[in-house]
């Protein structure tokens, strides 16, 4: 489906969520399961042989049709039922990116259980916290990763399902062995639209990760994000590089494309620019969804690497998860000859909520406009909508289809998001311009109040990274008796630059002249690396805690 700007303007005025329902078989049958809509619906149609999944890592390269994924996930569902797992149980997946991860996730959802994908880099405590919090009864994992699961501290955990071995101990079963004997006879569990299908723990950028619960009904929104924001069309090959341990990896990486009948690419292994470009060339990727941190790494690897590959299949590029600096946008435009489309959402929003659409001109540095059906705005602390160009709370009118339905085990936290009647309060600070574009400023807690001026860290960081010496920057407010707060910047330098007082002065001056005097950092500290989450987000709360000598809080998602 192709859209133009007029379509967008019409759609935001008129399109209802009900209209999206006609794409699903439950619209006619009344029988609901997101896994059925994503895989089985196509597998049972004339499209059954269409490619659902293209996989490659350093040892395997495989292709799966919709029919094959249906058969395999049905079998896995049979395996789960055989060991007594049923509707509502939490079943976690702790595995590197590979087809079995996807098959397991679909199988879990097919029996009405709740899937909990965990990023493979988590260590013992992080894994334990999440399994304990959710009361998981089973984990699908590998012989290597199972060593990080502290079973004796997890009384609810009854089963480990091990992928890649036939040797198992007590309380363990072998994926390969069970799949080989599993009956193909399977009846999917029909669900209510409001039944949960997945728990995603948040990235932990601002504090202890929250177990965000999403329901089958999210498919309506994921389908629309696929059509409108990701620009998915018949025959597309879609590659979202996010790990399924984060919401982007499942909602955008699996469900949005599959619900739209589109081929998904999965690349295992570690990040490497050459492998990534090779993946695009090899699978003729048409739509590519990346995070800013990865774009910055590709940028550091240089444009020469890009030129070694034929990337002409690319039609649409997206970014989400962190602010996309205009500098990175400009580099992308030059390297790939197409603009990077930033889109904003959160684990809690379940799918893309604000986006730069293919049909709407991009303003570099802006997150774009609301997905049709979403009403987003800026409100003050009492819930009053603010006029254009005023910084405030980024809020969404409640009730969109992929909205989280609970924070597992923490109803009080859930209520906090909805404390202002009728609004979901995101915790992000932004403003909307007179054309309806949203501009991210920072996390509410990160907004700096210096001499009575409110400064969003993102603006300062974006200016900082335009300086040739600056690779990455994290900006915080540091308490100051005179100014309330002063701006302090933590900077990692590009290779070839040495820290010095002159350089600090030059960089501060660069912000002063390019942005504003009050926005220039009064203190700069050079660091080899900035603290980041494993999903690649700069952890400003950690910078702040270090600076003030305070406890750093939950570090389970921090990179090594």
| Contact window for ligand ATP (CB under 6 A) among 90-98, 133-141, 161-169, 343-351 | 343-351
Residue nearest to Mg ion (CB): 202
- Using rule CB under 6 A, residue 352 touches ligand ATP: no
Our CB check for ligand ATP shows the closer of 239 and 417 to be 417
Which of Mg ion, ligand ATP, none does residue 344 bind (CB under 5 to 8 Å by kind)?
ligand ATP
With a CB cutoff of 8 Å and minimum separation 6, the contacts of 264 are 52, 53, 54, 238, 239, 240, 253, 254, 257, 258
User: Distance between CA atoms of 71 and 43, rounded to whole angstroms?
Assistant: 9
Kindly tell me the burial class for residue 6, based on how many C-beta atoms sit within 10 Å of its own C-beta (0-12, 13-18, 19 or more): exposed
395: enclosing H helix or E strand: strand 392-397
Contact map string, positions 144 to 183, toward Mg ion, x by CB under 5 A: ----------------------------------------
**Contact range with Mg ion by CB under 5 A, out of 95-103, 149-157, 201-209, 520-528:** 201-209
The count of other CB atoms within 10 Å of the CB of residue 418 is 13
What pairing do the DSSP bridges indicate for beta strands 90-94 and 316-319?
unpaired
Of 141 and 325, CB closest to ligand ATP: 325
Pick the closer one to Mg ion by CB: 33 or 202.
Answer: 202
Question: Residue 209 or 226: which CB sits closer to ligand ATP?
Answer: 209
User: Any idea what the Cα angle at residue 355 is, between residues 93 and 6, rounded to 5°?
Assistant: 140
| 418 HSE (CA, 13 A, CB side) | 15
Each residue 510-549 as x (binds ligand ATP by CB under 6 A) or -, in order, gives: ---------------------------x------------
Distance of closest approach, residue 213 Cβ to Mg ion, in angstroms:
15
| C-alpha span between 262 and 226 (Å, rounded) | 9
Strand 423-432: give its sheet, edge to edge: 376-379, 392-397, 423-432, 438-443
- Size of site (CB under 5 A) for Mg ion: 1
Residue that has been written with the tokens 């009361």 in this structure? 135
CA distances from 195 to 71, 109, 200 (A): 24, 11, 15
Q: Does the footprint of ligand ATP cover residue 441 (CB under 6 A)?
A: no
Per CB under 6 A, 440 contacts ligand ATP: yes
Interface pick for ligand ATP out of 117, 196, 204, 211 (rule CB under 6 A) = 204
Nearer to ligand ATP, 75 or 214 (CB): 214
Binding flag, residue 205, ligand ATP (CB under 6 A): yes
Judged by CB under 6 A, does residue 367 bind ligand ATP?
Answer: yes
- 207, 361, 387, 399: which one contacts ligand ATP (CB under 6 A)? 207
**Residue 245 interacts with ligand ATP (CB under 6 A)?**
no
Q: Minimal distance in Å, beta carbon 26 to ligand ATP?
A: 28
Interaction between residue 196 and ligand ATP (CB under 6 A) = no
Q: Could you report how far apart the first and last alpha carbons of the chain are, in Å? A: 43
Interatomic CA distance for residues 377 and 102, integer angstroms:
35
Give the integer Cα–Cα distance in Å for 414 and 406: 6
Vertex 128, ends 125 and 129: CA angle to 5°? Answer: 85
Closest CB 181 distance from ligand ATP, rounded Å: 39
Grouping H, G, I as helix, E, B as strand and the rest as coil, residue 473 is strand
70 binds ligand ATP (CB under 6 A): no
- 104 touches ligand ATP by CB under 6 A: no
**How far is CA 396 from each of CA 26, 188, 377, rounded to the nearest angstrom?**
27, 34, 6
Q: By CB under 6 A, name the one of 322, 459, 461, 472 that touches ligand ATP.
A: 322
Total number of residues binding ligand ATP (CB under 6 A)?
Answer: 25
Regarding 344 and contact with ligand ATP (CB under 6 A), the answer is yes
Which residues are 428's β-sheet partners? 443
Considering only 48-56, 109-117, 316-324, 508-516, which stretch makes contact with ligand ATP by CB under 6 A? Answer: 316-324
Give the nearest distance from C-beta 22 to ligand ATP in angstroms.
30
Which of 202, 250, 325, 441: binder of ligand ATP (CB under 6 A)?
202
Partner from ligand ATP, Mg ion, none contacting 369, C-beta within 5 to 8 A by type:
none
- Shortest distance, position 207 Cβ to Mg ion, whole Å: 8
Q: Could you say whether residue 241 binds ligand ATP (CB under 6 A)?
A: no
- Give 3-state DSSP helix, strand, coil % of the chain, rounded to 5: 35, 25, 40
**Interface of this chain with Mg ion, residues 202 to 241, rule: CB under 5 A:** 202
Q: How far is CA 178 from CA 35, 86, 181, 189, 530, in A?
A: 21, 17, 5, 20, 45
> Could you write out the DSSP letters of every residue in 441-456?
EEEGGG-EEETTEEE-
Binding site for Mg ion (CB under 5 A): 202
List of residues contacting ligand ATP (CB under 6 A): 202-207, 209, 246, 320-323, 342-347, 367, 426-428, 440, 443, 537
């Amino acid at each position: 489906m192709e859209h133009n700007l007029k379509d967008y303007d019409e759609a935001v005025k008129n399109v209802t969520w009900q209209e999206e329902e006609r794409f699903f078989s439950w619209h006619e049958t009344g029988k609901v399961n997101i896994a059925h809509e994503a895989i089985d619906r196509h597998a049972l149609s004339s499209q059954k042989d269409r490619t659902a999944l293209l996989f490659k890592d350093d040892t395997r390269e495989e292709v799966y049709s919709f029919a094959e994924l249906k058969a395999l996930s049905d079998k896995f569902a049979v395996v789960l039922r055989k060991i007594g797992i049923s509707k509502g149980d939490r079943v976690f997946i702790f595995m590197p990116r590979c087809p079995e991860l996807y098959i397991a996730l679909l199988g879990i959802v097919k029996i009405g259980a709740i899937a909990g994908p965990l990023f493979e880099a988590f260590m013992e405590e992080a894994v334990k916290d999440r399994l304990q919090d959710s009361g998981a009864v089973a984990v699908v994992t590998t012989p290597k990763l199972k060593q990080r699961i502290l079973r004796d501290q997890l009384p609810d955990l009854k089963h480990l399902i091990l992928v890649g071995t036939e040797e198992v101990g007590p309380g363990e079963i072998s994926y390969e062995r069970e799949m080989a004997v599993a009956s193909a006879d399977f009846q999917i569990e029909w669900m209510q639209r409001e039944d949960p299908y997945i728990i995603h723990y948040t990235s932990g950028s601002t504090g202890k990760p929250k177990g965000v619960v999403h329901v089958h009904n999210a498919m309506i929104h994921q389908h629309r994000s696929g059509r409108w924001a990701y620009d998915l069309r018949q025959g597309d090959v879609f590659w979202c590089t996010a790990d399924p341990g984060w919401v982007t990896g499942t909602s955008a990486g699996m469900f949005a494309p599959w619900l739209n009948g589109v081929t998904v690419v999965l690349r295992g292994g570690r990040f490497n620019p050459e492998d990534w470009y090779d993946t695009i060339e090899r699978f003729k990727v048409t739509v590519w969804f990346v995070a800013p941190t990865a774009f910055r790494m590709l940028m550091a690897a240089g444009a020469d690497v890009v030129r070694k590959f034929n990337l002409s299949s690319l039609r649409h590029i997206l970014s989400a998860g962190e602010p996309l600096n205009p500098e990175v946008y400009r580099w992308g435009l030059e390297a790939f000859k197409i603009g990077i489309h930033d889109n904003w959402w959160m684990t809690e929003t379940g799918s893309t909520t604000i986006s730069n659409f293919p049909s709407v001109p991009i303003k570099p540095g802006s997150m774009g406009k609301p997905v049709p059906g979403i009403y987003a705005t800026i409100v003050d602390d009492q819930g009053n909508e603010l006029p254009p160009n005023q910084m405030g709370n980024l809020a969404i009118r409640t009730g969109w289809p992929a909205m989280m339905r609970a924070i597992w085990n923490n109803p009080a936290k859930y209520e906090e998001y909805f404390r202002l009647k009728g609004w979901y309060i995101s915790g992000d600070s932004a403003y909307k311009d007179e054309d309806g574009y949203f501009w991210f400023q920072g996390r509410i807690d990160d907004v700096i109040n210096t001499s009575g001026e409110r400064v969003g860290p993102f603006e300062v960081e974006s200016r900082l990274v335009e300086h040739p010496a600056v690779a990455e920057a994290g900006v915080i407010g540091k308490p100051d008796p005179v100014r309330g707060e002063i701006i302090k910047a933590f900077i990692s330098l590009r290779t070839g630059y040495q820290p010095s007082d002159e350089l600090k002065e030059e960089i501060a001056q660069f912000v002063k002249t390019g942005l504003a005097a009050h926005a220039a950092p009064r203190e700069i500290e050079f660091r080899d690396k900035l603290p980041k989450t494993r999903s690649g987000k700069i952890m400003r709360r950690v910078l702040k805690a270090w600076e003030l000598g305070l406890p750093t809080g939950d570090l389970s998602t921090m990179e090594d």
